[in-house]
Structure 1
């Protein structure tokens, strides 16, 4: 049975994908099996097994970077519904490529939600020096969420690179970012919004 002819029910479809991939592996067609796993992870992004198997095949072929990408993407998706599985996969990605930015940014909030705030902050601190723009803002926001405080909040608020609008096709994004930093009204509104968000985290309102 071709995986395109899979049953309509999810359980049967998952089994069909696995059977097709295992058949290819049994016959020695590793790349064909990988294609099945990659197709399966697109169809069923919340199924850890397909991400894990795709990463395993990449590793067997000596492609550590590709395996790390698969685990990082898969862990981010799986972690939305199954936190423990997502954490395991993202840790696997970092095991293959320490400092993997996307894996770190996906893992940190999951660790924070599990109460592992110190580890989340430490992971983000490791990648922070290499980050710029919106990615740096995201990392500093997560660092602030992991360890709320006025200093951390201020560092997030004053991180350059926040753009109000998308740049026109012929305009260089980095120039747009620099221009935005010199617009007083925009910066004032940005800081006011940031202060409000910091206040909400540092001193959450009680609900009665």
Structure 2
């Protein structure tokens, strides 16, 4: 699957046995059950342990028993119960990124949990996950804004302005002015289906599409998507 900024996903990961190797006030550290140490890594060294925030709101993984009940040497299970996330950044690596563990990831997604709005002013926001990076995620696409367009498509809007689609929240107007395209849209060039574009935008608006995204992502208040 090709992931895009704006995708609303359901993520889960089977709970897998592991061992607690350290606990402090902020973290519980466990032997990571899904990766292997990369013997050929030159720029980083990983010891096989991952630290999880004991009460961090962005933490996707949970332990069973819960982290506050764990002590070094305990056995537990770690996984991700089914929950909703949405994608705010997509990064591809060619060659795959050297991380210190195997398999080396070729793709990472920066995601927020349902209900958390993107904050363009925040320097650090979100959790990185690596589809195909060894952890047995299940990822199900629930909603994709502007699913009928492909990156790089050119469209004309109802006001006669031409736009390039670089993602649902990163429209570029060829006249250099700002704003967002006025529906309906007509495909000028690109890989999308012209009939699908015309049909999908015959009614509604960019603002309505953003509202659909907010509902799918569990975001209650108005926010400018990133």
Q: TM-score, normalised by structure 1?
A: 0.26
Q: TM-score, normalised by structure 2?
A: 0.25
Relative to total residues, which structure has the larger strand share, 1 or 2?
Answer: 2
User: Larger relative contact order (C-alpha < 8 A, sep ≥ 6)?
Assistant: 2
Relative to total residues, which structure has the larger helix share, 1 or 2?
Answer: 1
